[in-house]
Structure 1
């Protein structure tokens, strides 16, 4: 298992974010560019952090464009000054996001990782199959037969009898001749067995076995109660989000995991019910389908800022 990032590593990431903020502000001088180059060249860790932060910045490349449309054709100097401030703030959004979401360098340095909305399938050298869901990261050490889930959600299918151990913050999951899904939440870790059976070793409490069609929550205090689920129901491993008479609020909270930016909705929509199977490769289409089948409207300020409101009655 990898250790948590130390203070020095966090400072490198913070410095990279600050350099990005300076460049995006438009205020960087020629001397600043020279200093940035010197900082990057002075240490390989600096250059590595800079390259990663640049890749993340590309995801937000189109964010400020729409913000300018409403005021570019107006000559009022005060409006133009306000627009300039808005664009400057928008340019800094990626930096703020990076500091709040990406400074844990164990995610940056993970062996395998996915961005928001991405889903990957990897065949490991031992024949096992590892799938990562949206915004997930995992470290793989086949020499010691261990995987460490750093963030997000994974599915592991181990066809052979030689076990692989999944390390999570609240315990260990030992997997052989079985398939298991493991999801990290803020305060617990959900373990679901798709086929076969797995051995669980919670941080506190006795070890136990979890069989196909069963799931439970690993917490700091130990293992929660065993519950049943339909292991044959398609899910994120098939690129599908399934709802069966689910409250819309719960559905949207899950859908938002697959979208970059903000997805908001008015409280009055929370109690509406959703049933259906929705492809996760186009979440804008999912929102359009919801608007077609439920009394709600979709308002998109930008592709990164979407709000759902109750549909207005037209007389």
Structure 2
């Protein structure tokens, strides 16, 4: 069963009504997880929350903590962004007279100095480009840490998350220039992983790959880890899935507009338990 998804009050209390220290709260969370680690990042967030409240007061602290807990949209790379989106937010922008880019939630880009909008760097997240060349912008170029993609026409998508860089071509070939290795051409209806193990090309279904534009996450013969990765930018809190649960094979259609329902769906279909913990953390554990 899914526990009550409502967030607790800011002041956690013990059985005698006294407020618990942050270390006591952490011990309680560890016990709830059955000895599983919450991870260093989450623990730092908890301690930062306490420091903010002590230094700024409850009202100011709560405002700052909300930003700290949102995760991907406040990564260090995001601080350099010219345009960024937050959880559940998409944004479309013009790159030229006819070309556009659509940023998925928790994405960040920065434009090249003096290069206009037709050349930019994807710092984090996902961008879908509809390239329609004109005299002023004959191509669109997207740079990432793993390499650069250039398109004269056609639609393509670039994803940069969790140490992976994936490039997907729709209806025209792309010029891909990896940071390591020779330039290559990615055929239409194919995707390539530039990280972490080098180029790996495969055929794709463009409709499935871009289903997020319609508020859906469609996974075919994937894993629960991939499902959680797809849901995370749309969830206000932080999702934590254990390695064992992440390896469970998964297929399905999940709503990105109603992530609470999607999390319940995981528990109904797969052998996992979903628990809602303090500070907006949701844990997904494999059933024994």
Q: Is TM-score (shorter-chain normalized) higher than 0.5? A: yes
Q: Aligned-pair RMSD on alpha carbons?
A: 3.6
Give a deviation string over 1:127-165, Cα, whole Å, max 9, x none. 212111222111235537311112222111112251111
Q: Which residue of structure 2 lines up, in the alignment, with residue 66 of structure 1?
A: 9
Q: Which has the higher helix share?
A: 1
Q: Which residue of structure 1 lines up, in the alignment, with residue 49 of structure 2?
A: 90
Match of residue 149, structure 1, among 108, 122, 128: 122
For residues 194 and 217 of structure 1, the distance between their equivalents in structure 2, rounded to whole angstroms, comes to 15
CA contact (8 A) 1:175 1:199 kept: yes
Alignment of 1:154-173 (within 5 A): 154-160=127-133, 162-173=138-149
Tell me the SS of whatever aligns to 2:155. Answer: strand
1:115 aligns with 2:86: yes
For residues 147 and 250 of structure 1, the distance between their equivalents in structure 2, rounded to whole angstroms, comes to 27
Alignment of 1:41-52 (within 5 A): none
Give a deviation string over 1:277-301, Cα, whole Å, max 9, x none. 1121221110012222334332212
Q: TM-score, normalised by structure 2?
A: 0.69
Q: Which piece of structure 1 moves more, 262-271 or 291-300? A: 262-271
Residues 82/302 of structure 1: CA separation in 2 closer, same or farther (3 Å cut)? closer
CA contact (8 A) 1:240 1:279 kept: yes
Tell me the SS of whatever aligns to 2:130. Answer: strand
Which has the larger Rg? 1
Greater RCO structure (CA 8 Å; 6+ sep): 2
1:298 aligns with 2:274: yes
Q: Which residue of structure 1 lines up, in the alignment, with residue 265 of structure 2?
A: 289
Q: TM-score, normalised by structure 1?
A: 0.64
Residues 88/64 of structure 1: CA separation in 2 closer, same or farther (3 Å cut)? farther
Q: Which residue of structure 2 lines up, in the alignment, with residue 23 of structure 1?
A: none
- Flag structure 1 segments of 5+ consecutive residues without an equivalent: 1-62
Q: Which piece of structure 1 moves more, 151-160 or 212-221? A: 212-221
Q: Which residue of structure 2 lines up, in the alignment, with residue 250 of structure 1?
A: 226
Residues 219/287 of structure 1: CA separation in 2 closer, same or farther (3 Å cut)? closer
- How many residues get paired? 243
Tell me the SS of whatever aligns to 2:186. Answer: strand
